[in-house]
Amino acid sequence: MTVAVETGQWQLDADASTVALKHRTMWGLVTVKGAFGVVGGGGEVRPDGTVTGAVTLDAASLDTKNAKRDTHLRSADFFDVEKHPEITFEVRGVETGADAAAQVDGQLTVRGVSRPVSVPVRLTREGADAVTLAAEFTVDRADFDMGWNQLGMLRGLTAVAGSLRFTRVPGGVQES
């Protein structure tokens, strides 16, 4: 990024981070929105500038403000949380750009299915001991074996948006 992020270990601040999704349903007439209540992760910025890390979501923590829909989303038709309780994004590489922007390449795993995903991110706040990244991207749920689509109601891609705040780990040791 055009602004240098300090080397060392970084821990996701779950209280200051959000990951949400939205998808058009009912033949494109209704947008369903939801947010994951449990988000975790961390990473490392190495002296050579390479970045490693992961973000983990508790799939059962998705809340769309509709209990019946949330129960269905947790079922085998969608996230199948009994068999696959976590959604993970593992960072494989970062390509920096201008204006505090970067492209983060990684592996997204949903329902036990892993796919490469490239996510554009922006550094929205920075300091010596904390950074906040904003990310927005789309995924095709069919790529992750979520093909349920009664009467063709679900069309298009699912939009994912995140605001992730990372804090420097004192002494370089991440919390579990």
Q: Are 140 and 119 in contact (CB under 8 A)?
A: no
Cβ atoms within 10 Å of 99's Cβ, excluding its own = 9
The residue assigned the tokens 């509709």 is 66
pLDDT band at 151 (very low <50, low <70, confident <90, very high): very low
Supply the pLDDT for residue 32: 87
Average of pLDDT values for 124-142?
A: 89
Using the predicted structure, report yes or no on whether residue 57 has a pLDDT greater than 60: yes
Q: Are 5 and 126 in contact (CB under 8 A)?
A: yes
More confident residue, 176 or 21: 21
pLDDT band at 3 (very low <50, low <70, confident <90, very high): very low
Supply the pLDDT for residue 98: 76
Residue 157 and residue 137: Cα distance in Å, rounded? 10
* Helix, coil or strand: residue 146: coil
Average of pLDDT values for 113-140?
A: 92
Supply the pLDDT for residue 108: 96
Mean per-residue pLDDT of the chain: 87
Supply the pLDDT for residue 166: 96
Using the predicted structure, report yes or no on whether residue 4 has a pLDDT greater than 90: no
Query: Which residues make Cβ contacts (< 8 Å) with residue 144, sequence separation at least 6?
Result: 108, 110, 111, 113, 115
Residue 117 and residue 24: Cα distance in Å, rounded? 21
Among 172, 175, 153, residue whose Cα is nearest residue 27 = 153
* Helix, coil or strand: residue 122: strand
Tell me which amino acid residue 86 is: E
70, containing H or E segment: helix 67-74
Q: Are 7 and 171 in contact (CB under 8 A)?
A: no
The two three-digit tokens of residue 35, written as one number: 């947010």
Supply the pLDDT for residue 155: 56
The two three-digit tokens of residue 173, written as one number: 């040791």
5-41 tens-digit pLDDT: 788 899 999 999 999 999 877 555 678 899 999 999 9
Average of pLDDT values for 120-128?
A: 87
Residue 149 and residue 141: Cα distance in Å, rounded? 11
pTM for the complete prediction? Answer: 0.85
As assigned by CATH, the class of the 8-169 domain is: mainly beta
62-106 tens-digit pLDDT: 999 999 989 999 999 889 999 999 999 999 988 887 777 889 999
Average of pLDDT values for 31-60?
A: 94
Cβ atoms within 10 Å of 28's Cβ, excluding its own = 11
